Amino acid sequence: MSEKQRTPKELKAELRARAKELKPVLPKGFAEIVEKETGKSRTFIYDVMSGRRWDLQVIEELIKVGKNHLKRVEKGIADLDKIKRKMTQK
């Protein structure tokens, strides 16, 4: 049997609730970045992230900023590992 298809309203509610999960991967100053890209106020952005307001454009931008930050952190860790390996080889 196939899984029941969810309505757009149900999907919106889930995305709205899960927006809070982005906070740990967002860099300091993320609201300013999203504000520049979307034109929305920082207060509105914080409200969207906490689930009090809804704006798909803001959520998409938060995801984009979070992904970019996570990639930078992962690259930093990989670079540190390379340096550590080089130091132990000498």
Model confidence at 1, pLDDT cuts 50, 70, 90, reads very low
Q: Which H or E run contains 54?
A: none
Q: Flag whether 3 is in a domain.
A: no
What is the number of domains present in the chain? Answer: 1
**Domain that residue 22 falls in:** 12-89
Question: Which residue is associated with the tokens 């740990």?
Answer: 24
Q: How many residues does the chain have?
A: 90
Q: Flag whether 1 is in a domain.
A: no
Q: Flag whether 6 is in a domain.
A: no
Q: Flag whether 38 is in a domain.
A: yes
Please give the full DSSP string across 53-68, using - where no structure is assigned.
S--HHHHHHHHHHHHH
Q: Flag whether 7 is in a domain.
A: no
Q: Flag whether 41 is in a domain.
A: yes
Nearest to 65 by CA among 40, 28, 18: 28
Q: What is the spatial distance between Cα 18 and Cα 13, in angstroms, rounded to a whole number?
A: 9
Instruction: Write down the pLDDT at residue 62.
Output: 95
Q: Write the single-letter amino acid at 31.
A: A
pLDDT in tens, 15-65: 888 888 888 889 999 999 999 999 999 999 999 988 899 999 999 999 999
